[in-house]
Structures are given as C-alpha cells and as structure tokens.
Chains A and B, each alone.
Chain A
Amino acid sequence: MNCPKQELVLSLMSGDEAVAMAAIEAGVRLGTGYPGTPSTEILETFEKLGGKAQWAPNEKVALEVGIGVAFAGGRALVTMKHVGLNVAADPLFTVAYTRLDGALVVVSADDPGMASSQNEQDSRRYALAAGVPMFEPSDSQEAYEFTLRAIELSERWQCPVLLRMTTRVCHSKTIVRPGTLTISEPRAPHFEHDFPSRVMIPAYARPAHLRMRKRLAEIAAWNEQEGPNQLIAAGSSLGIVTSGVAFQYVREIAPEASVLKLGLTYPLPIERMRAFAASVDQCLVVEEGDPYLVEAARTAGIEVEGKQEMYRFGELNTARVSRILNDDCSPEAKPVPGKPPALCPGCPHRSVYTVLRDLNCLIPGDIGCYSLGVLPPFQAMDTLVCMGSGIGVGLGMRHTLPPDEAKRVVSVIGDSTFVHSGITGLVEMVYNPPETGHVVLILDNGTTAMTGMQEHPGTGRTLDHAKTGKVIFEDLARALGVPNVHVIDPTQDIEEFKKLIQSCLDKAELSVVIARRNCLLASSAIREYERCNEQPTN
C-alpha cells in the first residue's frame, strides 16, 4: 500500500525543501540535525510541513538520536553541513556495521567554493571510508526522488545511507514533480533484541564488518543493474562520466557528448562505468571537488581522463566545465570583489571586539557571526579551526606561551557553538588549568545567528520556538568548578565590560565571562517567542 500523497502539483522549490517534502511523504518519524549552511532549511521546512523536527546540540548527538529511531523501527532523517559529518563521524563509522530496523538517511551538504564554510571537504570520501551507500542528487527533483530511494535502500539493506547535497543543489530552486515514486508505508516501531547486530563489542563487530562488506557488494550489484544512474547516449567520440550538479553544466556545455550520470556514487557501478568508457573514443570525468570518481575508475583499471588540478578548487560552473573540456588551464579572470559581509551596525559583538582589541588580547576564536571580528576594523580574532576549537586552542596557547603573552589569551565562542562543542573544552580547562589561568568569553546573543536565527539548548526553545528545558551557561560553568563566572551586557557600559575582562586577565585563575545581549536581527522575534511562551497554556 502506498502512503497518502499530498496534492500532486508541480512546484518550484529548493533542494532542501524537496528533501523535506520527500521525508514527509515517507512518514519520517523524526528529523534531527544541527543548523549549517547550506543544509539548515531541510529541517525548518520539514517542521513547517508538519514533521517532527529537532535541533540537536551537535551533529554527533543528532546522528545518535537518528540511530535510535532506526533501531526502534522508525524512519529517521539527520541533516548537517559537510563539516558536521566530521563531528558525527564516530557514530557513522560504526552504525555502518549494525543492522537497522527502520531507515536512517544522513544528509551531508557540501560547500565547494566555501560560500560559508571553513573548508571544502568532499563528503564522498566519507561514504567510501565508512562503507555507507551515498546518493548524489543534481537538482531538486532528484533531491526529492533520491531521498525516497535512500529511505528504501536503507530499509532494504538495513543500513544507514548518505545523501550528499552541495550548495547549488540545496539552494537552487528548480521544478519538482511529486508522485514520481511511491514508497511503502513505514512499519510500526518496535524493538527486537539483536545483540550481535547492535552491540559492537569486538566479538560481534568482527562478523558485523564482514556482513557490511557483503551488503555493500550486493548494493554495488544492484547499482549496476537498477541504480539511479542515467545514460544519455549521443555521439561516440566523447563520453562524460559525472554526478551531482556538474551533470547540469555538462548537459549545457556538451549536448553532443554521451553522458553517464551517476546517482548512487558509493558503491559505484564500476562495470557500467567500464562499459561506458569502452563505448566512446575519449572518456572524461567531470566532477565537482575531489577526484573521487576518477580515482575509483582508474583503480578499477578503467581508462578515463579527469579534470585538471586547478578545477579541484572552488565550485564548477558552465564556464569552468567548458575549460575542462578544452583542456584550458590558463588563469581564470578574478571576479570583481563585492562588499564583504560585516558585523551589523549595533551588533553586540562590536563592543566585545572593540574591548578585546584595545586590551591587545590574543584571541583564539570560533565559528559564527562573530568570526567576522577577524576583519577590519577589529582584526580581533587570531585563530579559527572548527566548532568549539577556540577553547582548546586557547588552553594550548596558554600552556605554551611565555607568561606575559599567555596572560593575554582570551577564548571567544558563541552561544550555540558553546553548546555544540565548547562544553568539553570547559571541562578540559577545569581539569588541566594553565598556570596563568584562562578566560573564556561566551558571546551569548540568544540565537544561532549566522545560519539564520535557529534555536539551541541555551535559548530554552525548541526548533519551532516552543518553550523547553534551558541550559544556563553560568550555572553550568559554576557546576564544573570554574571559580570566576560573570554575566554582563557588553553594550550597556563598555568601560565596565573592559574593566571586567581586564580583571579576569590579571588573575591567574579560570574565568568564564558570558557577554549576553540578544542579536539585533533576532531580538524582536525573541521577544515575541517569549511573550507567546509566557501565556498560560492550560
């Protein structure tokens, strides 16, 4: 029996919205994730369409919750940006050994070109490394269809499945025709004991690894015959193997070429690729990011050409694909620089960075709007590596620098980032305090501002802004045993704020300062949520 469908009308939607629509159609029981451009809108849309969606403190927890849903027989959707998959990698690599009863689809949204990310890692490497099948949609229609197919594949082989999106697939709007695929109804949740499949002690994990490889071989065989791959047979002089949004550029630039477009890029349909390469005079692989398909083809002894190394960096587009086809490695014209983003006028972070700059601090920083503190006029951030790194990096610097420099180190971290992975840094600080002490400055603007004002455990509101349990940073810091914990509005009296930071720096002790002032862009919405949540619900 098929699930009831919404009215089947064409609509123009983003890839993110299409994933959410498919998840609704498939009866996904829970969507969870951590906000991250370009993946954020998936869960927001899923919630708007009536799905149960939650923000987790970070991607690792989100994936673990998703695993629990799938062990209990439900369908789970877990969303994150590519760097989030690093955080979730620990559960990912081992859940791949287990046997699910429901479905587990993990969306990793890559950001080639780094429109808003700290690196441009290629998630396809994760599929290969973890042994997790991976779909790669090339537009919103495929984002919709591949989400359904991913759920199907996950249930058929009882394993997690990755859906690799990229910025242009997530955020481009293209036409979606729903109802092209049907999916079975979700089963009723129920938990069956199955110790050898779910408890990955070494004795059980060894056979589980064998089972996983066997499963992947079966999926590869299925992918050869029935996978979501598309052959466009045109001329026999040039054949192009491609995947994801690069397919669109190839079709526009080289309508005369035969194309093998791969939809399930792990495990690959290697024999299909081999036959395709043999059917054309010249076989070229056009892929965005790492030379993943090219390497796999060559390892299998298939003769293919790849793109030139310079096109590994940044996004592809029609102009670059045209250059790849023409073997053109001449320097590319640099785009005219636009106006860079900046901290908003009146942003509370401005006061903070003014003070830190004036105090000549060394500032291991973190990821969020406040990363913009590195730019003029402040230039008040010295390091940025990954979510939560500011605290650990600050401690390492304190342990190493001569005392006069060490005493100037202040770790800066935002509220959502602190919850995501700053808490363990604080534990480290209490456990291994530097001789000069340390100062952690939490910039609490009451929202996950950079990704578009999402809630987090420190706001005390759920994804849909309803009241829930609230993590109070000052209580947490005190409970951990931090001796000096201060809460201050940095915009109220900037001199007062400066004095406080100076006094913390002067002590050879541990301090946490919470600079609390709502984000200017979010403040009226926050007031409205608070007003709604205060009303008696009886």
Chain B
Amino acid sequence: MSSLPTNVVIAGLGGQGVLKASDILADVAFGAGLDVKKSELHGMSQRGGSVSSDVRFGERVFSPMVPEGGADFLVVIAADQIPVNAASLREGGILVEPSQIDESSLQNKKGINVALLGVLSRHLPFSIEAWTGALKRNLPEKLHEANLAAFALGRTQR
C-alpha cells in the first residue's frame, strides 16, 4: 500500500499569481523526488475571474486534481475567494489566508502569493534551501530579492 498524496489547493483571482505559486510548490515537491501532479484551468483566468490550481505530491499520484473535500491545505490569495473554495478543504485541513500576513511588511503587495507559500511551508517537510531554489527557478532574477523576503515573512510570521 502506498501512502496517500498530499493535496494542496491554491486559489485567488486572475492576475494574483495563483499559477506561479502552484508552479513553485510543484517544483519543490518534484525536487524532493516525489511524484507530483498539478492541474488548473487556463484560458479565461487573465480576465480577473476566479482561478484555482491543484498540486498533489507523494509516492504515487494518479488524478491531477485534488478530490472535492480532499485538500489538506487550502491557500487563498484573495480573501473573498475563501467561500468559493472552502468546500475543497478536508475536515481538519489547514486554511492559509491573507489575514495571516501583515501586508504592510511586504516590499511589494504582489508578493502576497509567495508570502502565503511561506506560511504553507511551515507545514510541509521541505527545506528552506529547496524553497529558495524553486523560487529562484520560477521567477525572473530582478524579482528574487522581494520574493525571498516575502517568503521569509510568511515562513516566520505568526
């Protein structure tokens, strides 16, 4: 019997960096040698509508989508998208939301997606080096400093 995959749903609005955040998370899990699948719907997302992205990782992953009510973690970048996505979280699952970040401490408000990954990272078994590497691989160099700071803020803030 293989162990069950870890299920993460990242949600927000078009333009908030939902897909970027899920790319970074998937990259971290992939770097740890796990099977990883990530899924979302593209297309209309750039028009400001609701966007969500599913990341699953573990020993073996079949479906690329997180089962309804099966998310271990729900990361919501726009507070008004919590009700829309709440049903994806399993009982006892963990919600990561913008209120957990002091936005005034962010160098750039756009870094909220990465700051929330920082919060999420406290619950996941990946090293800070793995996160740093994935952030750098997935973002242009000029954004590294601000995003590493945003991540650190989320990782340390209570």
Q: Which residues of A contact B (CB under 8 A)?
A: 12, 37-38, 115-116, 139, 167-168, 171-175, 245, 248-249, 251-252, 317-319, 333, 335-344, 369, 372, 450-452, 521
Residues of chain B within 8 A of A452, CB atoms compared: 42, 46
Counting CB contacts under 8 A, is B44 at the interface?
A: yes
Interface bits B25-52 vs A (CB < 8 Å: 1, else 0):
0110010000111111111111111101
Counting CB contacts under 8 A, is B93 at the interface?
A: no
With contact pairs A168-B65, A337-B84 given, residues A12 and B38 touching in the complex (Cβ less than 8 Å):
yes
Contact B36 A319 (CB under 8 A): no
Q: Which 10 A-B pairs have the closest CB atoms?
A: A338-B50, A116-B43, A341-B47, A341-B49, A172-B64, A252-B62, A37-B43, A172-B39, A341-B44, A115-B41
Task: List, sorted by A's number, 23 A–B pairs whose CB atoms are closer than 8 Å.
Answer: A37-B42, A115-B43, A115-B44, A116-B41, A167-B41, A171-B41, A172-B64, A173-B37, A174-B61, A175-B35, A175-B36, A318-B67, A319-B68, A335-B87, A336-B83, A336-B87, A338-B49, A338-B50, A338-B81, A342-B47, A342-B49, A369-B47, A452-B46
Contact A168 B64 (CB under 8 A): yes
Q: Which of A116, A251, A319, A521 contacts B44 (CB 8 A)?
A: A116
Residues of chain A within 8 A of B80, CB atoms compared: 339
Report the contact-size class of chain B (Cβ under 8 Å from the partner). 35 or more
**Complex interface residues of chain B between 85 and 124 (CB less than 8 A to chain A):** 85-87
Contact A340 B39 (CB under 8 A): no
Residues of chain A within 8 A of B64, CB atoms compared: 139, 168, 172-174, 245, 248
Residues of chain A within 8 A of B85, CB atoms compared: 336
Contact B48 A342 (CB under 8 A): yes
Chain B residue at smallest Cβ distance from A81: B43
Pick from B27, B47, B63, B83 the residue with the most CB of A within 10 Å: B63
Contact A339 B50 (CB under 8 A): yes
Distance (Å) between the CB of A99 and the closest chain B CB? 38
Contact B47 A171 (CB under 8 A): no
Chain A residue at smallest Cβ distance from B23: A173
Distance (Å) between the CB of B86 and the closest chain A CB? 8
Contact B49 A173 (CB under 8 A): no
Contact A319 B49 (CB under 8 A): no
Chain B residue at smallest Cβ distance from A372: B47
Contact A172 B84 (CB under 8 A): no
With contact pairs A173-B26, A335-B87, A338-B84 given, residues A344 and B48 touching in the complex (Cβ less than 8 Å):
yes
Residues of chain A within 8 A of B42, CB atoms compared: 37-38, 115-116, 171, 452
Residues of chain B within 8 A of A450, CB atoms compared: 43-44
Distance (Å) between the CB of A138 and the closest chain B CB? 10
Chain A residue at smallest Cβ distance from B37: A174
Counting CB contacts under 8 A, is B71 at the interface?
A: no
How far apart sit A38 and B48, CA to CA, in the bound complex (Å)? 19
Residues of chain B within 8 A of A167, CB atoms compared: 41
Residues of chain A within 8 A of B67, CB atoms compared: 317-319
Residues of chain B within 8 A of A115, CB atoms compared: 41-44
How far apart sit A336 and B52, CA to CA, in the bound complex (Å)? 13
Distance (Å) between the CB of B122 and the closest chain A CB? 23
Counting CB contacts under 8 A, is B13 at the interface?
A: yes
With contact pairs A12-B30, A318-B63, A318-B65 given, residues A171 and B83 touching in the complex (Cβ less than 8 Å):
no
Distance (Å) between the CB of B80 and the closest chain A CB? 8
Pick from A167, A333, A337, A338 the residue with the most CB of B within 10 Å: A338
Residues of chain A within 8 A of B47, CB atoms compared: 341-344, 369, 372
Distance (Å) between the CB of A365 and the closest chain B CB? 16
Other contacts beyond A252-B62, A318-B67: 19, CB < 8 A: A12-B27, A37-B42, A115-B41, A115-B44, A139-B37, A168-B64, A174-B36, A174-B37, A175-B35, A318-B63, A319-B67, A336-B83, A336-B84, A338-B81, A339-B48, A341-B47, A342-B47, A372-B47, A450-B43
